[in-house]
Structure 1
Amino acid sequence: DVTDLVKSKMLTFLDMRTHFSKIYLREERKKIEPRFIIESVLNAVKKAKAKRLVIDPIAPLIYGGSSEDVLYVREFLREMVFAIERVGTITTVMTSEVPTGSKMLSRFGVEEFLASGIIVLGLEEVKGGVVRVMYLRKARWAPAKPVKFIFDIEPGRGIVVKGLYSLQEVPSL
């Protein structure tokens, strides 16, 4: 429960639907200027004096871009990442969904090139059951061993790493 964090202004949710509602109402399908979205995010960061920013997920902000429009997506993300970096002292986490069955690391296939680090979360079938698995795919400026971990999502705790992923040591399902 995050109610106390919101009340104490330790956590702020920025509802980006206002940027898209006029377009939905008019049923226009045009691209939104990335700078308006970026300015809204950065204004909220400055107003809250935030030290951390989470954009979950990034794909809806890239309205008007499609998986075929890689140049638009790349430019939008580049502008956003560089604008956030100019703020200087903010740790940013962006999530990106991956289409089921895809071998890609992100929705549009370009997000990972701008990221300093990538943590991949997934599901794997093991011994007739399914386990949650995570691994560090990229860690710019730091060595990263290519190992997988089993994790769980627990109420009140969030993501809890259970240990190294090993076929011999998979917890009972």
Structure 2
Amino acid sequence: MKVNSGIPGLDELIGGGFEEGSVNLVSGKTGTGKSIFCAQFLHNGAVNNNEKGLYLTTGETINNIKKQSKNFEWDFEALEKKGVIKLMEIEPFDIETLIERITENIEAAKAKRVVIDSVSMFELYMHEPFKIRKSLYKVLQRLRDMGKTVLVVAEVLEDSKSLSRFGVIEFMVDSVILLQYLGIAKYKRSLLIRKMRMTDHSTDIHPFEITPKGITIRSV
């Protein structure tokens, strides 16, 4: 079963939407639109599909997320009051406690869509690749076991060839969507689907715009 993204122009590139119960990486450098992409996914689920969502943030404050959402006429504050979207700040210190908190909040919110923004904080606190891999695996596996459709944000460092800070999580997820800022030509931003399991997806680079209504993918 497919879960529509709410991003105009994207679903036709990924076989109709994300696989239900999949874990999907949204990767890119600072300022490429990763958080907007994820907020749009949650907003679409809540408003157009009657699907509850949970936004877990490790870096940005909840107030800032709500302020940003209003730039696109997405009133997360009102949606939170209605109980269809829940925003929660988390700290990635104790992995077992973190998994327990995530599980409890997903169950309490009855969320079908989950965003983790971002896993880069896990990588900063856990410097050893083995520990990062083990901890992320536990978190992602719990989310898979719960059958939730998840978007995970990863920050790409300048001049890095990896798809995350330490090049670990991209091997654990079901799909990888890379957002880039080119700064040239008519459309300055682009999207590339680097990986998507069980789906016949586009392999082209697609321009996109950030409009007053959110992200829109343009034709090549």
TM-score scaled to structure 2, two decimals?
0.62
Percent sequence identity over matched residues?
Answer: 27
Q: Which of 125, 128, 135 is the equivalent residue of 1:64?
A: 125
Deviation of 1:97 (Å): 0.6
Q: Distance in 2 between matches of 1:114 and 1:81?
A: 8
Residue 193 of structure 2 aligns to a residue in which SS? strand
Q: Distance in 1 between matches of 2:142 and 2:124?
A: 18
Q: Which of 166, 190, 193 is the equivalent residue of 1:108?
A: 166
Find the counterpart in structure 1 of residue 200 from structure 2.
Answer: 143
Q: Distance in 2 between matches of 1:87 and 1:13?
A: 19
Q: Give yes or no for the alignment of 1:158 onto 2:219.
A: no
Q: How does 1:1-173 map to 2 (within 5 A)?
A: 1-16=75-90, 19=91, 32-62=93-123, 64-66=125-127, 69-88=128-147, 90-127=148-185, 131-155=188-212, 157-164=213-220
Structure 1 runs (4+) greater than 6 angstroms displaced: none
Deviation of 1:148 (Å): 0.8
- Contact 1:65/1:72 (<8 A) preserved: yes
* Deviation by residue 1:72-106 (Cα, 9 ceiling, x = unmatched): 00001111111111112x10110101001211111
In structure 2, list runs of 5 or more residues that go unmatched: 1-74
Find the counterpart in structure 2 of residue 169 from structure 1.
Answer: none
- Of structures 1 and 2, the one scoring higher in RCO (CA 8 A, sep 6+) is 2
Deviation of 1:33 (Å): 2.4
In structure 1, list runs of 5 or more residues that go unmatched: 21-31, 165-173
Deviation of 1:41 (Å): 1.0
**Taking structure 1 as reference, are residues 135 and 106 closer, same or farther at Cα in structure 2, changes over 3 Å only?**
same
Deviation of 1:62 (Å): 4.5
* Deviation by residue 1:114-165 (Cα, 9 ceiling, x = unmatched): 11001000012435x771000100001112231011111122x21111222x
Q: Distance in 1 between matches of 2:123 and 2:206?
A: 31
